[in-house]
Amino acid sequence: MKSSEANIFLFIAALIIGILLSMNISISKGNVLKNKKVFLSTAQYQDAYNLRNKLRSEILGEMEKYNEYSNKLKKYENDDKNQVQVKNSISQELQQDKIILGKTALEGQGIKLEINDGPTNDGMDAFQYQMRIVHNTDIIQVINDLKNSGAEAISINGHRIIDRSEIYCSGPFLRVNGIKISSPFLIYAIGNKEVINSYMMSNENYLKLMIMRKIVVNINEMDKVYIPAYNGDYNLEFMKEDK
């Protein structure tokens, strides 16, 4: 009986010792893995170094923005006078947005550009006749050149040209902002009058080609140009704010 109890005791002791040994081996392996050094190639080190610098710069940039906005917020909250400044700032931004969208009439220095069909006669063939007529593609090219010249606001026959304006052929007329207009086409543009005039009349721009086609082109610099507001609607059916 005693021999049996001794065997059981030895078995339990051996089992415990085995468990302890296995745990020690596992812990040792874990420590070895933790302390194991990883060697990077030059390219890998450079990539990691660049990534660290990029992340550090982004973090610093975001921290600067946070501090700037936080200081502004505290300043507005602690000073009642700034409430008026905030309202004025918002009002100015709204007015600037209206100007950009074309919802405000404007005036300033610029140019007056008159474009009209060239002279025609019965002896012309169809091709010659079409070359003397102002087409929608001609006006589109002229508008693009005006924008490239730095024009800040443009109108044609009293209709404001905005980013959504369409210009296309409608029989003997052109349709601009959904309204039919006919020649002569009177285009006004606000901007640096000398720069616009020089740019539009340079040899590489479209007006020179129209003049070669015998289309009537007259351009004048003006100290004061009036551009009306866009009177159409902005119907946004599909565009939504990205959140």
The domain that holds 177 is classified in CATH as 3.30.70.1880
**What does the pLDDT look like over 158-174, one tens digit per residue?**
999 988 888 888 878 89
pLDDT of residue 104: 85
Note whether 196 and 111 are within 8 A (CB).
Answer: yes
The reported pLDDT for the residue numbered 81 is 59
pLDDT of residue 1: 45
Residue 2 in this model has a pLDDT that exceeds 50 = no
Is 4 part of a structural domain of the chain?
no
Q: Tell me, yes or no, whether 239 lies in a domain.
A: no
Q: What is the pLDDT of residue 121?
A: 86
> Tokens 């009349």 — which residue?
201
The more confident residue out of 132 and 27 is: 132
pLDDT for 123: 83
State percent of the chain over pLDDT 90. 35
> What count of Cα atoms within 13 Å lies in the side-chain half-sphere of residue 183?
19
Rounded CA separation 108/189 (Å): 9
At residue 92, the pLDDT reads 73
Q: What is the pLDDT of residue 204?
A: 85
Structure tokens at 136: 């929608």
Instruction: Give every CB contact of residue 103 below 8 A, 6+ residues apart in sequence.
Output: 229, 230
Q: Cα–Cα distance between 208 and 196 in angstroms, integer? A: 14
Spell out a b/e string for 105-116, using b for 16 or more CB atoms within 10 Å of the CB, else e: ebebebbebebe
Confidence band of 103 (pLDDT split at 50, 70, 90): confident
Q: Name the token pair of 134.
A: 């102002």
Q: Is the pLDDT at 16 greater than 90, yes or no?
A: no
Q: Domain for residue 156, yes or no?
A: yes
User: How many domains does the chain divide into?
Assistant: 1
Q: For the segment 118-134, what is each residue's pLDDT rounded down to a tens digit? A: 988 888 888 888 899 99
Distance in angstroms (rounded) separating the CA atoms of residues 189 and 210: 19
Residue that is written with structure tokens 């000073």 in the block: 79
157's torsion region: left (phi>0), alpha (psi -120 to 50) or beta? left
Q: Which of 4-8, 118-122, 186-190, 195-199 has the lowest mean pLDDT?
A: 4-8
Residue 27: pLDDT band with limits 50, 70, 90: very low
DSSP 8-state secondary structure symbol assigned to residue 174: E
Query: Is 79 inside any structural domain?
Result: no
Under 8 Å between Cβ of 214 and 148: no
What is the rounded average pLDDT of the residues 92-121?
84
Within-domain flag for 218: yes
pTM value is: 0.61
Please state, in angstroms and rounded to a whole number, the distance separating the CA atoms of residues 228 and 154.
Answer: 9
Tell me, yes or no, whether 136 lies in a domain: yes
Residue 119's domain spans which residues? 105-227
Any domain includes 201: yes
What are the helix (H) ranges across the chain? 2-35, 42-78, 81-101, 126-131, 136-148, 193-200, 206-212
Question: What digits encode the pLDDT tens for the residues 175-186?
Answer: 998 889 988 999
209 within domain boundaries: yes
Distances (CA, A) of 70 to 61, 79, 87, 207, 231: 14, 14, 19, 53, 40
